[in-house]
């Protein structure tokens, strides 16, 4: 079976280390998995006045999630929590009432930071948010990646063999997790 994965990268910047991590994970995925990247930058701040006639960018995000077999969050940590752009996207995905796209959607959560904490606090907050929305999240292994210069090369290859093997193990668990929920 083929699996489409909605990928939400919580950083909007071009040189994002989390975007690099997403691209590196994409290379480790088996051939039956396709990454479909969400575009978070042009989604306006959530406004409940607009939830029944939502902006096209928010509707496109919801359609992407709805059509995917699973979702992958690749998140930076901003001030010890989830970046605002990511929380905004999650909020649109829950609305309007009765149209929560996260419910029963299997998710994976990973993140990269220059610090040794590796986005652990942001990921814990993200787990709380997604649990409330009914999204079953893969628990372990957890990927708190400390990004170092050259760890991911320009072609999105992981240059450290141990890190590559660890992330490959995570990919295998994640794909099996998504498969469990596929109908
Ligand atoms: C950060 N950074 C950061 N890092 C961290 O480990 N814990 C934190 O709480 C924060 N807080 C934080 C707030 C804001 C507003 C910025 C801009 C940055 C540093 C962050 O990990 C670093 O900038 C990463 O490179 C961000 O990921 P991307 O954008 O490269 O994917």
Query: In the chain, where are the structural domains located?
Result: 3-181
Confidence of residue 183 (pLDDT cuts 50, 70, 90): confident
CATH of domain 3-181: 3.40.50.360
Query: Residue 136: which residues within 8 A CB-CB, separation 6 or more?
Result: 104, 105, 106, 107, 177, 181
The answer to whether 29 and 58 are in contact (CB under 8 A) is no
Q: Which residue has the tokens 């948010």?
A: 129
Least Cα distance to 8 among 43, 32, 33 occurs for: 43
Quick one: pLDDT at residue 102? 98
pLDDT of residue 146 exceeding 90: yes
Tokens of 62: 């919801």
Alpha-carbon span 41 to 31, nearest angstrom? 28
- Residue 117 Cβ inside 6 Å of ligand 1? The answer reads yes
User: Is 17 a pocket residue for ligand 1 (Cβ < 6 Å)?
Assistant: yes
pLDDT 10s digits, 67-85: 999 999 999 999 999 999 9
Q: Could you give the ipTM of this predicted complex?
A: 0.99
Asked if residue 125 has its Cβ within 6 Å of ligand 1, the reply is no
Residue nearest to atom 28 of ligand 1 (CA): 16
Ligand 1 close to Cβ of residue 115 (< 6 A):
yes
102's tokens: 């996260």
């Amino acid at each position: 079976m083929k699996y489409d994965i909605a990928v939400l990268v919580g950083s909007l910047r071009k040189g994002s280390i989390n975007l690099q991590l997403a691209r590196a994970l994409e290379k480790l995925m088996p051939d039956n998995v396709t990454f479909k990247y969400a575009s978070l930058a042009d989604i306006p701040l959530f406004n409940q006045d607009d939830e029944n006639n939502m902006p096209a960018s928010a509707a496109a995000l919801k359609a992407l999630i709805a059509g995917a077999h699973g979702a992958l969050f690749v998140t930076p940590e901003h001030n010890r929590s989830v970046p605002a752009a990511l929380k905004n996207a999650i909020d649109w995905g829950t609305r309007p009432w009765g149209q929560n796209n996260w419910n029963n959607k299997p998710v994976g959560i990973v993140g990269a930071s220059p610090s040794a904490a590796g986005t652990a606090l942001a990921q814990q907050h993200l787990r709380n948010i997604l649990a409330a929305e009914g999204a079953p999240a893969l628990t372990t292994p957890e990927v708190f990646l400390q990004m170092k210069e050259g760890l991911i090369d320009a072609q999105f290859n992981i240059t450290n063999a141990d890190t590559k093997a660890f992330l490959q193990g995570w990919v295998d668990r994640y794909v099996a997790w998504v498969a469990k929920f596929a109908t």
